[in-house]
Amino acid sequence: MTILLLILAGFIPMTGNPPGLDYGTAPESANYASGIPVITYHQISLHQSAYSATPARLRDDLQKLYDAGFFLILPTDIENGLRRVPMNRRPIMITFDDGWEDNFRYIDLPDGEQSIDPDCAVAIVNSFIEEHPDFGPGVVFFISWDKIPFGSHTEEKLNSVLDMGHYIGNHSADHLAFTKLPPSRYWEQVLPALDSFHRRLGLRTSEINVVAYPGGQIPRGVNAENALAAMEYQGRPAVVQGYLVDGAVGNFKRIYETEGSEYRISRIDMALYSVPRLLNWSNIMVESNARASLHDDLPWRPTYSD
């Protein structure tokens, strides 16, 4: 822990709190492979830190995931029963937590114009999707309001993220761990954040209804799920899904069949995991037919059974 703190003090230029790293490693067992990886990154930076990945690493991860037959899904796809996922592909969700400036940065050009830094997260993802349009629609940015989201130009950047086809999630007002709050006070972290979104996004805030818990956890046995399910914002549910960081690939059969499971969707932190390690996960949707040539469909297929 001391080492971690020293690393943080030395290498992370930040104005907010660092995200927590505290989770287990065991995958859930399932009677068939229904695991959908939800992976998370924080900072995308050349500065090495406990939470960062370099731009080159992100590009390489995207390529490896694409080559392994994954298709990008968004939280709405979970609501929709994954109907947009082609049958020869397997789903994955990519998320970026906190809203760091290196997730969406403008740089000044010599002519005085501004352009998007090609090494920031959103530019790297956009350029990969442009080159590989069959990879899927986009990624999720979970924004917390304990600092200025994306460092500057927040309103413009949040709207741009939606224009580009990506998804915005709620990562709380103050980045306060839900494990430190009774469920009766969760709203203090959820609703003011929605107000902040609403001031920048107006009606588009109605689509912000998923939460990534700061610190990656919510407690068990205290009806946390009920508190989240009951919360409303402007007459609609404030939270329809909740995302942990627990170092697991969630069993999606359970998500669809067990009420409340949508508030405990597993994620793995790519600062601690690699794509090759992810591909070894036992519950990830499995390979079907061999791929005879590069022009054949990708060989992955969800295995549905009763």
| Cβ distance to Zn ion smaller for residue 230 or 272 | 272
Answer positive or negative: Cα dihedral of 57, 273, 19, 191: positive
| Cβ distance to Zn ion smaller for residue 98 or 117 | 98
Segment near Zn ion (CB under 5 A); pick from 16-24, 152-160, 264-272, 289-297:
16-24
| Cβ distance to Zn ion smaller for residue 136 or 149 | 149
| Cβ distance to Zn ion smaller for residue 98 or 101 | 98
Interface with Zn ion includes 146 (CB under 5 A)? Answer: no
Contact 71, 92 (CB under 8 A): yes
Interface with Zn ion includes 225 (CB under 5 A)? Answer: no
State the distance between the two ends of the chain, measured CA to CA, in whole angstroms. Answer: 45
Beta-sheet pairing, 114-116 with 106-108: antiparallel
134-167 burial: b if 16+ Cβ within 10 Å, else e: ebbbbbbbbbbbbbebbbebbeebbbebbeeebb
Nearest-CB residue to Zn ion?
19
| Smallest separation, CB 40 to Zn ion (Å) | 9
Half-sphere exposure of 212 (CA within 13 A, CB side): 33
| Smallest separation, CB 136 to Zn ion (Å) | 24
| Smallest separation, CB 144 to Zn ion (Å) | 6
d(CA 285, CA 302): 5
| Smallest separation, CB 256 to Zn ion (Å) | 27
Beta-sheet pairing, 70-72 with 90-98: parallel
d(CA 99, CA 169): 10
Which residues lie closer than 8 Å to 27 by C-beta, 6 or more apart? 35, 248, 249, 281, 282, 283
| Cβ distance to Zn ion smaller for residue 8 or 82 | 8
Binding mask 78-117 for Zn ion (x = CB under 5 A): -------------------xx-------------------
| Smallest separation, CB 43 to Zn ion (Å) | 11
| Smallest separation, CB 97 to Zn ion (Å) | 4
Give strand pairing partners of 71.
91
Interface with Zn ion includes 19 (CB under 5 A)? Answer: yes
| Cβ distance to Zn ion smaller for residue 19 or 27 | 19
Number of residues that bind Zn ion (CB under 5 A): 3
The residues of the shown chain that bind Zn ion, judged by CB under 5 A, are 19, 97-98
